[in-house]
Chains A and B, each alone.
Chain A
């Protein structure tokens, strides 16, 4: 499978035909590097298995991953960093980088820094206060931990609670970024509030936190959607100026929305399946999902491909049944709804088991 998908670009892959995002073009446009055989082989050797998201090119591009792997081979530690804005429930699209991050933590024993950007949410949304973000911090943290992260090796940083961890580093970062850079990179303007102007330095700070704590360079790897790359490019630039290792990234593709949008998005709730959706709602959402005439372009197939169906044989069967007209859309949708509900049920069960221990982690 890996040979087919990664090595031979002529093969039909879901994203190439989605028409919404040209992922190869993004690599070129952003100047990132595609993951090559060498990188993939090394990661497979390190973990002892070939994670399906690598096999299928869900994660497909990087910056300085090779340096991170070299550092690991020399016996060095690196940290993982990702995060979330806690303004609502988690949807399936959010889980993709998290599941992959968990694989990286298992493989490399890396500490995960997980940032909740409640400050950003508060600054952007008119009606959001801390009671609301606190609720979602707790809920989302459970969703994350339900994926099996090592609690002893995972640190939550809730910006409004834990500002003291980040602020000194954020100030150093902020001193190196001008207002004009904010305009160019983030599209801020004179109407942007002062908090938003500063916020990118709070988001950059965790990249350097472990180095600061250790008093020696501890590289940081960020697994994220490739759409995030421009942001991290700026942070890499700052890292050089401040003498920290540049944060490395491994870039993923995005799970499309139910309506065929390029990305499942909380800002368009009709595109998303939330971890909190009840089974009937999941069935409905999938039943009404937008399926294109061109079956190869079906967003629903990508749910299997990105997330639900790890077996390559099975995923091939699903695709084949569709493209060869052996199975109707309705049948396919019913099965997908069952798979999603099974997945959600198992996830909720794991969330319950975690229970209160997450509160200590969030203190």
Chain B
């Protein structure tokens, strides 16, 4: 790795920065390390092992074996994930959503997808509520384009669909004190009362399907590990409310086109957005940070460093499904046989063709959006 001093790691639901030490996070958050057995079980039910499982995207979990066992017993199981809609979706966001679509299919699960437009509005001084809500619907198109199943996917906006959510959120809120929220989320007296309330909204979704169906349904949350504090609080109160504790499967952060951190929408130049014109996205790839050496000679001599290369990361997490081809690329890079321009050109081509296809699906999703939005319980 680099010789530069390590930056202090910060991981909260609102901020991820510094050099991420996953071992430390697993210990800090008190979660279980992912096991090959769990990965194999998922693959067995899906019929194939998703590239994200093969590549170790999911580093840790809570109660995922239990969730799978419930399914194997013939019980219905559910999925929950979400998005804070404060802007356009980038490729990093799609990684867990592709995986959700994969899990949904494998386990025949209903997916509750929460658009936390309230949270984004409350946290960001520059974002109006109307803007956040309109991003919620815009971003829903991306979710659908990832291949979520119609009729089994329930996308909702906290603000627009509050009538389905408020009662459960109240029951959650009643069990969580301000002091817990301070300790877990780092809230203070000077935070606004909407932010103070919000954890109840995010926790509520763990119980939404059970509440709507009138029976307990195990819930699995695939999400990045920075969201973990919410689930810790939720797990603490689940039984008091008569629900199962929600299970989680935690994803790593994905590097962006600039160095460090996850691919963040708040640094637009580092990300490729699903709405970027393909050619423009290709240009972004050509400007990406890589693990290359300062000169061609050095690269030929010393070889590249895929372990810090963002172009490689894109192949790794999204664009190279073929494990053999990936290893070949890695080896050739390390041996100094290929230069960064080569990889960038290949990636740009794949990104462009991916986006062309994705944007078609995304536009088609406009027509069927309503089928994917949450409906009142019959």
* Of A119, A176, A183, A192, the contact of B166 (CB 8 Å cutoff): A119
Q: Which one, A164, A176, A188, A194, contacts B197 given CB within 8 A? A: A194
User: Which of B173, B182, B199 sits near A190, CB closer than 8 Å?
Assistant: B182
CA distance A101 to B182 in the complex (A): 42
Within the assembled complex, what's the spacing in Å between the Cα atoms of A193 and B181?
Answer: 9
B314 nearest CB across to chain A (Å): 37
- In the complex, A264→B333 CA distance in Å? 82
Tell me if A179 and B191 are in contact (CB < 8 A).
yes
Whether A193 contacts B176 in the complex (CB less than 8 A), given A175-B121, A179-B196, comes out as: yes
User: Which of A162, A168, A176, A191 has a CB less than 8 Å from the CB of B178?
Assistant: A191
Question: How far is A184 from B96 in the complex, measured between Cα atoms in Å?
Answer: 43
B-side contacts of A201, CB under 8 Å: 193-194
| Majority SS at the chain A contact face | helix
| B156-174 interface (Cβ within 8 A of A) | 159-163, 165-167, 169-174
Query: For the complex, is B179 an interface residue (Cβ under 8 Å from A)?
Result: yes
A311 to B182, CA, bound (A): 58
Name the residue on A nearest B199 (C-beta): A194
- Give B275-300 as 1s and 0s: 1 = Cβ < 8 Å from A's Cβ atoms: 00000000000000000000000000
A-contacting residues, B44-64, CB 8 Å: none
Q: Which of A176, A178, A181, A194 contacts B181 (CB 8 A)?
A: A194
Contact of B200 among A164, A181, A194 (CB under 8 A): A194
How many A-B Cβ pairs are below 8 Å? 113
Using Cβ atoms and an 8 Å threshold, which residues of chain A touch B27?
A: none
Q: B176 — which chain A residues lie within 8 A by C-beta?
A: 193-194
B173 and A182 form a contact (CB under 8 A): no
A230 within 8 A of B: no
Q: How far, in angstroms, from A172 to B177 measured CA to CA in the complex?
A: 22
Which chain A residues lie closer than 8 Å to B179 at the CB level? 190-191
In the bound complex, how far is the Cα of B199 from the Cα of A159, in angstroms?
20
Docked-complex contact A174 and B122, CB < 8 angstroms? yes
- Interface residues in A, total, Cβ within 8 A: 37
Residues of B within 8 A of A179 (CB): 178, 187-193, 196
Determine which residue in A160, A162, A197 has the highest number of CB atoms from chain B within 10 A of its CB, and name it: A197
Q: Which of B165, B175, B192 has the most CB of A within 10 A?
A: B192
Q: Which of A185-242 contact B (CB under 8 A)?
A: 188-198, 200-201
Q: Does A122 contact B (CB under 8 A)?
A: yes
Are A193 and B190 within 8 A (Cβ)?
no
B200 touches A177 (CB 8 A): no
- A361 sits at the interface (CB 8 A): no
Contact of A175 with B194 at beta-carbon distance under 8 Å, contacts A164-B162, A190-B178, A191-B178 already known: yes
Taking the closest CB of chain A, its distance from the CB of B325, in whole angstroms, is: 48
Report whether A198 and B191 are in contact in the complex, using a CB–CB cutoff of 8 Å.
no
- Whether a CB of chain B sits under 8 angstroms from the CB of A180 is yes
Among B161, B172, B178, point to the contact of A188 (Cβ < 8 A).
Answer: B178
A7 at interface, CB cutoff 8 A: no
Q: How far is the CA of A188 from the CA of B194 in the complex (A)?
A: 15
17 contacts between A and B (CB under 8 A): A123-B173, A159-B166, A160-B167, A163-B163, A164-B160, A167-B118, A171-B159, A174-B122, A176-B192, A178-B190, A192-B177, A194-B178, A194-B200, A195-B197, A197-B196, A197-B197, A198-B173
In order of increasing CB-CB distance, the 8 nearest A-B pairs are A174-B194, A195-B173, A198-B197, A190-B179, A163-B166, A194-B173, A167-B162, A180-B189
A residues in contact (CB < 8 Å) with B: 119, 122-123, 130, 159-164, 167-168, 171-172, 174-183, 188-198, 200-201
B residues near A (Cβ < 8 Å) are 118, 121-122, 129, 159-163, 165-167, 169-179, 181-182, 187-194, 196-197, 199-200
